[in-house]
Chain A
């Protein structure tokens, strides 16, 4: 039953262009060390005198800088491939952990009710009433910069959405007869929650995942752009765009343009796939 719901939610890739491009993105990120001509983290492979070379110029390493080099002489194409890894790892892990925490919290709120419900849902209300950027900024100001902190900030920002959705579904599931059966069998509450309630409340949260991953990528990029995200020596796509800002004003557009384009494409593909998923589950097409 639950398996069917999820299967029908995943768009058939043969039909969706955005799905194919998204798969290419993921493959490119996984195979980055094989595809990239240069390892941007290895100072021995970087030639400082070739800083901000325009796209297509020949490098000393015996390969062409297809998309040019940045202000430190790093190949932009390689940087994008490696930056993609960081962007994807940070946002995926942030969203997945947030989903797990949010789902558990939401289901627990619905199952226990009373003060557990009140505390959890008040927290959720507090967070959802504020813009995500503000919550993220407060979190980053509190936690300080660094990759692990960014993931933590993404978790703090995102768990509330999952909690609210899961609680709604779990409340309607709690009235069903299999839950009566579970409580008549006197199963311990952790077993009821994790073996019965949670698996049956998971489907709407799955449809939320693509959108939230898209948000997470954009948010991580924005924080990195503002200099509050990942450290500068391991650039994500957002911090690559940021590092090109000062060169933009003198016309060296490629340092910001190409990483930003890659980021834009990635977020757009995820959003289209997410739209597809929702349209299949909500045939009226009325949801936002």
Chain B
């Protein structure tokens, strides 16, 4: 067992190393950040040379990479070219905003999605089932940026009920600022949370539906029915636990995904989280911040996957062989 866990973490570590190398080379070929810092029209050749040396960009590529790895090992991704703050600290300061958004989106999405899936899967082929399936396809087809913009159009511009962007008033708690503690913050949260929750509800509903259809066909549910248990008791006491493992997995992965995929929603709602930071930094060629963000998000994912695999191998001995 220890071997499995150690092996899985070693594999995860190697993956991260490969990814950081690809990312490093990639961002290096994307453009010269010196021109974003110095004023191109007024700077002399001397200024540009000094800026290049100051940023360490005069060194060969592999020296820069080794230096980068050394720094990552000590949690130091360098200083942002734009904000002049440590990149990793900048990233961490944006984390609560993204986390809050993702958490509040998943909070209603998981039970609603599961409930809809159970309802649909109980009578496959019924009108209700068709309706839920069809709506889920529509919900998964809406491009998230368009959905967000339409929510702004309806909820902010035509009706004026909600603000169109920003975090609103925040309250300090555990040393971080949170929007969900104030009424104004909650109003700011409503639209982006909805934009993130809708596709997740559809995804979870489809997963729950297919699980329910599969389980309701099995002998033990037929036995429960023969025993005279009420349909709702069968559904919640017997079917639900049996479909919960894939649902919990997808909830976890989608939650991790929102930390990365909230890019679109965050930039539309001007939500100052990791996603917006990433997009802004890519456009400004703020290399340390882009590297810190991509490395962080990738690391979260690789670790999340490793944890899921290890949890499976603890729960189900058959999986151990293939990990």
| Interface residue ranges, A against B (CB under 8 Å) | 126, 129-131, 133-134, 137-139, 141-144, 214, 218, 221-222, 225-228, 238, 241-242, 245, 248-249, 251, 253, 256-257, 260-261, 263-264, 267-268, 271-272, 275, 285-288
- Contact yes or no, A144 B268, CB < 8 A: no
- Contact yes or no, B146 A264, CB < 8 A: yes
Given contacts A257-B150, A260-B143, A267-B143, is CB(A141)–CB(B263) below 8 Å?
A: no
Interchain CA distance A261-B150 in the complex, whole Å: 10
B26 at the interface (CB under 8 A from A): yes
- Contact yes or no, B143 A286, CB < 8 A: no
Partner of A256, one of B29, B141, B149, B260: B149
Partner of A248, one of B138, B157, B206, B282: B157
CB neighbours of A272 from chain B (8 A)? 137
Given contacts A129-B302, A260-B150, A286-B214, is CB(A142)–CB(B25) below 8 Å?
A: yes
Interface size of B as a range: 35 or more
- Contact yes or no, B27 A142, CB < 8 A: yes
**Chain A: CB-nearest residue to B164:** A249
- Contact yes or no, A141 B141, CB < 8 A: no
Interchain CA distance A253-B146 in the complex, whole Å: 11
CB neighbours of B150 from chain A (8 A)? 257, 260
A-B contact count (CB 8 A): 127
**Binding site secondary structure of chain B:** helix
Given contacts A241-B149, A249-B164, is CB(A263)–CB(B260) below 8 Å?
A: no
Interchain CA distance A271-B134 in the complex, whole Å: 10
| Interface residue ranges, B against A (CB under 8 Å) | 15, 18-19, 22-23, 25-27, 29-31, 124, 137-138, 140-146, 149-150, 152-153, 157, 164, 206-207, 210, 213-214, 256-257, 260-261, 263-264, 267-268, 278-279, 282-283, 290, 294, 297-298, 301-302, 305
- Contact yes or no, A268 B141, CB < 8 A: yes
Given contacts A226-B264, A260-B150, is CB(A142)–CB(B301) below 8 Å?
A: no
Q: How far is the CB of B13 from chain A (nearest CB, A)?
A: 13
- Contact yes or no, A131 B153, CB < 8 A: no
